[in-house]
Structure 1
Amino acid sequence: MNSTWRAPNQGDWSALLWIRDLSSPHPASSARLAAGNLPPEIRIAMRLACSPLSATTPVTSDVSRALLRTLSQSPIRDLISDVTHVDGLTWHRYQGHGRISFAAVLGDGDDNQAPTAWARFNPPPLPTVQMFGDPACADFVLAIEPRTRHGAVRPPSDLNFWFRWLVRTLSVPAAVRNLATEELGLSTAADPPDRVGVFFSTPSSLTELVDIGDLPRVPGSHIAQRFIAGAVADPGGQHASATTQEWIMQLCDRDLPLDGYEHTLLTMGA
């Protein structure tokens, strides 16, 4: 399990952005995308070097069940429940593409409604299968819509909340690695290293997700609609808290942008 990280290079970002843009398996989500009617959303994308599934084992249904278990357990379960209402919702298998792409949605069983969250796990394809992506790596993406109990958009959270939450996103690679090795019996490799990215998107402004409180904005600045951050496993890198502090600094300097937030940043995690 990796615990230290470095910043992504251009090749790392190419992989993470490709994974981020994997489509939802649910038609209601796709219909909203086509209509340009998307709510705030958070995505976590990850690429892991591992061997492909064999042609027959584990059987396809067992792979899907293993994915559902991973999504329903800590740390992924906790990351989801901290940003959206999950009472009465369950993960279940949905769509997918044979043994090439496994998908799941989190919902209440109403197939006419877009799910609160969805996920895809794409193991490396066999050499005989022509697919995009890295033939030596598995891809994982998790998309979450922050909602209240009544289905409305969840109120924004402050920087301290997002710091703590983002630190824990760096535990997702270990969970996906466990899915690959312990659940599916695949072999993993350290090269290329694990890569993980976090992506916030909003219809109009990141303040729909981030509550800046009374922190002043830089005069004349523009608040972005999106935030992206990423990290790559590196034994010589820095710990999750330091990596996340850099992410928060990027958010405050580049995307919000805020003036005089540094004292708040230095006290995060205390």
Structure 2
Amino acid sequence: MQPYISNNSEVNIEANPNSLTLQWLKSLKSLGVNRLSLGVQSFFDKKLQFLERIHQKDCIAKAFEIIQQARIENVSLDLIYGTPFCTKEILELELAQASQMPINHLSAYQLSIDEGSKFFLQNKQEREGEFEGFPSIGHFIKSYLQSCGFYQYEVSNYARDYRCKHNLNYWERKPYLGVGAGAVSCINDIRSYTQKDIKTYIQEKNQDKESKEVLSPQDIELETLFLGFRSCVGVAEKKITQTKHLKILLEEKKVEKRGDKIYAKDYFLSDSLALFLQD
């Protein structure tokens, strides 16, 4: 990857537990890869089957053995919650197992159900009633992980000594370049999308055929607000035009001011806060 990236760059890859081989990981590390995000999703086979994952829980321990042998510096683990199998007991066991793995980062994503999808037709059940004392399952997960040394720095991401540079780049709205089929770039507030079909992408050498979206001032304002409030990035006070609404949120202690920035006190409320400040 040299000389195109600096020596201290973070180079990420994603993998599933059943797709790792030691030779593959060692080869990628020799090219500069220093961070791996492993799509574990669950430690229970029935939940994995429900999520239509192609690995089983037995693959997870083996995957971490390979990762340690390859000596990848930073490792993240992905979990999914919000399924009919997400009882308090199961989530506690999953979080306990996850936190004991050799990782310094964990992402916990709530299952998103699109109307008309197979999951929607299966009538997904909510289990919020089992988590008394917490506003939501997400808050329970945050509390449990914090007791294990993982601290929330974005609505779905928890760090133990290491925050992902890749993620922070997006939340700070810094420019990024996407390369490959289906890649997305955003430079100078122009978002571009490449062809999703890989054969078409290879055939179309002229990248001017990318579809482009010019972000309006309103788009930029909303993105700045919800990305800042959903993470440790925060929002510069000078970028908030609805000062009366901001005063209300400060008085209600929904947000707090530190220096010249405003931060959400509860990342799970980020979307509501952003919409309230854009009215």
**TM-score computed with the length of structure 1 as normaliser:** 0.24
Higher relative contact order (CA 8 A, sep 6+): 1
**TM-score computed with the length of structure 2 as normaliser:** 0.23
Higher helix share: 2
